Structure 1
Amino acid sequence: MRIHSLPTQLINQIAAGEVVERPSSVVKELVENSFDAGAGQITIDIEQGGARLIKIRDDGCGIIKEDLPLALSRHATSKIATLKDLEQVASMGFRGEALPSISSVARLTLISRTQDSDCAWKINADGAEPDFDIQPAPHPAGTTVDVRDLFYNTPARRKFLKAEKTEFAHIETLIKRMALSRFATGFTLSHNQREILNLRPAATDIEQEQRIAGICGSAFIENSVKIDFEASGLKLTGWVGLPTFSRSQQDMQFFYVNNRLIRDKLVSHAVRQAYQDVLFHGRQPVFVLYLTLDHVLVDVNAHPAKLEVRFREGRLVHDFLFSALHRSLADVRPEHSISRQPEPESMPVRPGPDSKSVYSNPYNNPAQRQASLPLHVEEAVKTYALLYPQPEQKQPQSRETPPLGYAIAHLHNIYILSETATGIILVDAHAAHERVIYERLKQQFQTGSVPSQPLLLPVKIKVSSTEADLAEQEHEFFSSLGFELNRSGPETLVLHSTPALLGSTDMDTLIRDVLADISEHGLSPRLQEQSNHILSTIACHGAVRAHRRLSIDEMNALLRDMEKTERAGQCNHGRPTWIELSTRDLDKFFLRGQ
């Protein structure tokens, strides 16, 4: 067949295949145009999930009459002019394909007015017109794009649309995500003449947190850490959830680069690494994060729908993100999570409008606890809070009660019960001690000085020949961990010394577990990542075992260590190490003030 030029409408429809996947794709392109126009308020009206109508109005700068035909022409834009502009794109759109692509698969009407114009101008398009008829129309300053009957002329694509409810759910999710990128912009979203969202501009920190809470839920703000980190020309701000506030899916992960919502493997890996040893296995962190950097350092022209970007210095960005998040999570200490409420005497608990909620859910404020209490622990707390076991033990005299308080009892030889200035704390002794040992081992290992202590009697360990070969091969690595481990036969190892932090533990099992870790994960070249896993295994073996009775002095020593230890709120496996019950919670148990 002869080579021939394609019709204009077919060209636009082919382009639309990349840009317009479903109604939410149209909304995304048009709202981004409103962003670029400097809109302070954007109104989105949807009918039948977007299949019948998508109407978006903004109060932006508008388009002059002479430029309206160009706005509906392919590869025409006001946002870039040269290759240099393309290499440092600061706008959301820049290809000039959105409006002509949309008009080729729908009936589009564009109405716009600039601030200094006497009236607005209207233009209609369906992707096929060689010329456009421009008519005057009433309209305030700004732009309205009216898109009707999406895919009316491409019935095969219309058949792929999901149910109305599903398509609108995609639009609602999209608007929420876009609203998180522009706090200064107000958003109104309606479906079938019913208002669904009404988000006012958020200028102050409180208003921004209110918008976050309205979209992600109030529990997110109450269980998150605010980030503000800057280095090497990069800036990271936003909120990251505490490790104990996680989800089973990645549905509450929002990452913006220069206010553009993106999905990026490099970013995902940096976040996973930051949460590596504080998040319970199988759980997903939650975050709303904003990375700001020079536009020259990021290529936003890497994906047709602009959902992915390419960083020019990927390693720098990765390490910056990891360092910022890792440090922010490490800096969360008990004093940041303990309730800061006045004592009940100065602020009595008064009955609320629904006193029955005291019985159904006494923990109705997620900010005042680290995790929900199991029922059997809840009952134990009620009992011990009244009886205060071991009353003969006196608390150390101090002008100020430390964040985790002073130990009162060792419940079931597992949990430490501690009294604080604002309530009581329950600590999983093994999990907490495990984290303390782990962090100390990491610090010692990183400085190359893990103290070692000799054993009174060497320990012979029977292993397989493969394990013995591995132990001999990694002799220097074991030495760097504080172990003096030698091979004395084809299937025998002899242990002469251990890390001083471990104390007494089952060395036979510990060495086998460490060998298993090395066998599974290997070592070089990524020594740091794998060594942390091995150090975690060692810490788990060295931590105080459950059901071992602790004295009051031992428990208080552990509480003080926790207060000085990074990431003390979770054990090495991501489980919470402590929870709090405030005096207000205790009053609710016993209906005090009701």
Structure 2
Amino acid sequence: MSARRIQQLPPQLVNQIAAGEIVERPASVAKELIENSLDANARRIDIEVELGGKRLLRIRDDGDGIPYDQLPLAVSRHATSKIRDLADLEKVRSLGFRGEALPSIGSVSRMLITSRARDAEHAWALRLEGRSPDADPEPAAHPVGTTIEVRDLFFNTPARRKFLRTDGTICRYIQELVKRMALSRFDVGFSLRHNGKPVVQAPAAESDPARDKRLSSLLGSAFVEQALRVDAEATGLRLSGWMALPTYSRSQADLQYLYINGRMVKDRVATHAIRRAYHDVLFKDRHPAYVLYLDIEPEQVDVNVHPTKHEVRFREGRLVYDFLFRTLKRALEQTRPEAPAIASVAPPAPRPEGVLSHSAGSSSALPQRPSPTTPMSLPLQEARMLYGESAGERAQQSGPAGSPATATDWSHRPAAEAPPAGAAPPLGYALAQLHGIYILAQNAEGLVLVDMHAAHERIVYERMKKQLQTDGVASQPLLVPVRVEVSLQEAGAAEEHAEAFSTLGFELDRVGPNVLLVRRVPVLLKDADAEQLVRDMLSDFLANGSSGRLQEAINHVLGDMGCRSSVRANRRLTVPEMNALLREMEQTPNSGQCNHGRPTWTALSIPELDRLFLRGR
């Protein structure tokens, strides 16, 4: 059989092939057109959809518009106003730049473009039906801006149309897209209508209250109420936005929005760094929730690695990874039992100021109430051993305003006697213990409930982590070195990151091209599977340039130790001992969650208590 001759593909087929990369579903069309509107300086974008976008997808904006003589050029391949040369491509600042969207969409639909430039007397319209335009633009009535109608998507490629899902499913994709776009540009108003009914209404939000209102309407008020506001800058990077408290974790990764220079992306390096920052405080297999904006110099990120521009590549991936991880981890560690719930986080360098926050309620199940047991007092000396001597002394020797201990010191009050609410610290002063599980305290706002075992578990855990950081990771030699057969890449990674392994208590020797010997392991992990742990760490190093696998394993062991050594349920504490625990919680990082991610405390304000009992009605 003779070889087939090489020939040039016809333009229409070229555009349809390009459409296969760019136009997956109506939401893909909406994304490209909305990005064009944003690049055209639009301040309002209205989207109308019929039958999920299969019949009609109309995007209207009030942007700069397209001049008459540039309309035919706008629908030709590789024609764009956003880049001129290689230097522009290396520092792309616009959302679109390939010049393929309009011709690709026009090749698989019936498309009408109506646009009026700001200095034009009237608008012009250009029509495409599955091919290049056959006629010149015609005069039309239209305000300044552009409207693009896409009808009968995939009408000339029926095989593609068969793969489209139901109208409701397709519309949900578009709704999620508009939500993501609305979260990326608070200064632009967005609206979405499906079959004539409003689905999304997001007016422009310039002020902080307006932004919070938009967040509440798009993501729910609970996210705003239980989020930390992040704003940090270092080494040419800036991270801003909102990160939810661990108690607002999700069963799925459905509330995670990351924007790089205003572009919504799904980046593996950044996602792994964020996930690792939450690792120590999340409950089981829960997922964090966040809306984060990373600003980086355009020449430090390559956005030209995927046709849909969903993926990026960082020039200094390790720098970005460390910045994200350390900034978010520091923000979580510095949350304290203080108001307000939304606060700012300082940059990782120089040393940041404290972050103000409070732990809100959670839907996570609390422990079952145990059967009554005989009260057992915990001596104050034991409380000092468990909670730290300084905490015990503070609880016994200082009053609510820092005054010297007196006969009426709060730590010596009877459990039934409530101290005045005016000068109480964030977690207040203990009133009583409930069923040997919960501490009831009163602060300036109302009532505080503390799970004493979960709270002390976190205190002990953080204390052991701090001691480990100070003294380093102790390691021990293996009587019989563990042989690990690896790939050439993994062996190279082991040599490249030998110092990191050594710092974490491992000693590895490369004794062959594909063979490693594990000679020393951390004492805390002496019973772990050394071979599997090394393989996992090497995989992380190859994928992300760093690994938190070993630290996570050590933290898991410390967490178990902290759980076993913490004060147990049904242990009756005296008022001074309960106050010592509360004061220690106020000084402990991540004290809003136990080692397993469960909440350690919650609060009810006086207005909330009044509503429970219908007071004032």
Which TM class, normalised by the smaller chain length? 0.7 to 0.9
1:539 counterpart letter in structure 2: G
Aligned pair 1:125/2:128, yes or no? yes
Q: Of the candidates 424, 431, 453, which is equivalent to residue 401 of structure 1?
A: 424
Q: Of the candidates 422, 433, 443, which is equivalent to residue 420 of structure 1?
A: 443
- Aligned twin of 2:92: 89
Matched residues in 2 for 1:128 and 1:556: separation?
Answer: 76
- Aligned twin of 2:230: 227
CA apart distance, 1:302:
1.1
The normalised TM-score by structure 2 is 0.77
CA apart distance, 1:323:
1.2
| Identity of matched residues, % | 53
Matched residues in 1 for 2:187 and 2:76: separation?
Answer: 31
Matched residues in 1 for 2:339 and 2:271: separation?
Answer: 27
- Aligned twin of 2:348: none
Matched residues in 1 for 2:420 and 2:525: separation?
Answer: 43
Q: Is the 8 A contact 2:37 2:61 kept in 1?
A: yes
CA apart distance, 1:181:
0.5
Show CA shifts across 1:428-461 (max 9, x none).
Answer: 112111111111222221122799xxxxxxxxxx
Q: After the TM superposition, which of the residue ranges 416-425 and 218-227 deviates more from structure 2?
A: 416-425
Once the two structures are superposed, the pairs formed by residues 294-309 of structure 1 within 5 Å of their partners are 294-309=297-312
Matched residues in 2 for 1:377 and 1:205: separation?
Answer: 41
Secondary structure of 1:195's counterpart equals: strand
Q: Is the 8 A contact 2:359 2:599 kept in 1?
A: no
Q: Of the candidates 156, 161, 167, which is equivalent to residue 158 of structure 1?
A: 161
- Aligned twin of 1:490: none
Once the two structures are superposed, the pairs formed by residues 328-347 of structure 1 within 5 Å of their partners are 328-336=331-339
- Aligned twin of 1:443: 466
Matched residues in 2 for 1:195 and 1:397: separation?
Answer: 51
Residues 125 and 46 (structure 1), Cα distance of their counterparts in 2 relative to 1, 3 Å cut: same
Q: After the TM superposition, which of the residue ranges 405-414 and 3-12 deviates more from structure 2?
A: 405-414
Show CA shifts across 1:366-412 (max 9, x none).
Answer: x994225979989x9xxxxxxxxx94676789972111111222222
Q: Of the candidates 245, 250, 265, which is equivalent to residue 247 of structure 1?
A: 250
1:371 counterpart letter in structure 2: S
Aligned pair 1:371/2:394, yes or no? no
- Aligned twin of 2:596: 573
Q: Is the 8 A contact 2:228 2:341 kept in 1?
A: no
- Aligned twin of 2:574: 551
Q: Is the 8 A contact 1:444 1:450 kept in 2?
A: no
Matched residues in 2 for 1:32 and 1:16: separation?
Answer: 17
Show CA shifts across 1:187-213 (max 9, x none).
Answer: 121111222222111101111111111
Q: After the TM superposition, which of the residue ranges 118-127 and 10-19 deviates more from structure 2?
A: 118-127
Q: Is the 8 A contact 1:184 1:201 kept in 2?
A: yes
Secondary structure of 2:339's counterpart equals: helix
- Aligned twin of 1:564: 587
1:314 counterpart letter in structure 2: G
CA apart distance, 1:418:
1.6
Matched residues in 2 for 1:443 and 1:128: separation?
Answer: 66
1:129 counterpart letter in structure 2: S
2:582 counterpart letter in structure 1: L
Residues 420 and 119 (structure 1), Cα distance of their counterparts in 2 relative to 1, 3 Å cut: same
Show CA shifts across 1:125-145 (max 9, x none).
Answer: 124337542111111111111
Matched residues in 2 for 1:142 and 1:17: separation?
Answer: 28
Show CA shifts across 1:299-350 (max 9, x none).
Answer: 11111111111111101001101111111111211012689xxxxxxxxxxx
Once the two structures are superposed, the pairs formed by residues 372-521 of structure 1 within 5 Å of their partners are 372=363, 391=414, 400-448=423-471, 515-517=526-528
Secondary structure of 1:180's counterpart equals: helix
- Aligned twin of 1:383: none
Aligned pair 1:7/2:30, yes or no? no
- Aligned twin of 2:393: none
Q: Of the candidates 139, 143, 151, which is equivalent to residue 140 of structure 1?
A: 143
- Aligned twin of 2:328: 325
- Aligned twin of 2:563: 540
Q: Is the 8 A contact 1:184 1:203 kept in 2?
A: yes
Q: Is the 8 A contact 1:8 1:127 kept in 2?
A: no
Q: Is the 8 A contact 1:71 1:99 kept in 2?
A: yes
1:163 counterpart letter in structure 2: T
Matched residues in 2 for 1:84 and 1:413: separation?
Answer: 68
Residues 86 and 120 (structure 1), Cα distance of their counterparts in 2 relative to 1, 3 Å cut: same
Q: Is the 8 A contact 2:39 2:94 kept in 1?
A: yes
Matched residues in 2 for 1:83 and 1:97: separation?
Answer: 18
- Aligned twin of 1:183: 186
1:122 counterpart letter in structure 2: A
Q: Is the 8 A contact 2:188 2:204 kept in 1?
A: yes
Residues 338 and 46 (structure 1), Cα distance of their counterparts in 2 relative to 1, 3 Å cut: closer
Matched residues in 2 for 1:28 and 1:426: separation?
Answer: 47
Secondary structure of 1:334's counterpart equals: coil
Residues 200 and 516 (structure 1), Cα distance of their counterparts in 2 relative to 1, 3 Å cut: same
The normalised TM-score by structure 1 is 0.80
Matched residues in 2 for 1:421 and 1:156: separation?
Answer: 66
Residues 398 and 186 (structure 1), Cα distance of their counterparts in 2 relative to 1, 3 Å cut: closer
Matched residues in 1 for 2:21 and 2:581: separation?
Answer: 59
Residues 123 and 399 (structure 1), Cα distance of their counterparts in 2 relative to 1, 3 Å cut: closer
Aligned pair 1:205/2:208, yes or no? yes
Secondary structure of 1:531's counterpart equals: helix
Residues 232 and 319 (structure 1), Cα distance of their counterparts in 2 relative to 1, 3 Å cut: same
Q: Is the 8 A contact 2:415 2:432 kept in 1?
A: no
- Aligned twin of 1:584: 607
Q: After the TM superposition, which of the residue ranges 424-433 and 524-533 deviates more from structure 2?
A: 524-533
Q: After the TM superposition, which of the residue ranges 259-268 and 532-541 deviates more from structure 2?
A: 532-541
Residues 106 and 551 (structure 1), Cα distance of their counterparts in 2 relative to 1, 3 Å cut: same
Residues 125 and 539 (structure 1), Cα distance of their counterparts in 2 relative to 1, 3 Å cut: same
Q: Is the 8 A contact 1:110 1:144 kept in 2?
A: yes
2:234 counterpart letter in structure 1: A
Q: Is the 8 A contact 2:126 2:133 kept in 1?
A: no
Residues 281 and 300 (structure 1), Cα distance of their counterparts in 2 relative to 1, 3 Å cut: same
Aligned pair 1:24/2:16, yes or no? no
Q: Is the 8 A contact 1:517 1:534 kept in 2?
A: no
Matched residues in 1 for 2:261 and 2:85: separation?
Answer: 21
2:331 counterpart letter in structure 1: S
Structure 2 stretches lacking a partner, 5+ long: 343-357, 372-412, 482-502, 505-521, 539-546
Structure 1 stretches lacking a partner, 5+ long: 340-366, 381-389, 452-465, 471-479, 482-510
Secondary structure of 1:267's counterpart equals: helix
Matched residues in 1 for 2:136 and 2:70: separation?
Answer: 13
Q: Is the 8 A contact 1:45 1:56 kept in 2?
A: yes
Q: After the TM superposition, which of the residue ranges 69-78 and 132-141 deviates more from structure 2?
A: 132-141
Once the two structures are superposed, the pairs formed by residues 72-87 of structure 1 within 5 Å of their partners are 72-87=75-90
Show CA shifts across 1:512-541 (max 9, x none).
Answer: 986445759747885544332232222222
- Aligned twin of 1:37: 40
Residues 6 and 130 (structure 1), Cα distance of their counterparts in 2 relative to 1, 3 Å cut: farther
Q: After the TM superposition, which of the residue ranges 417-426 and 114-123 deviates more from structure 2?
A: 417-426
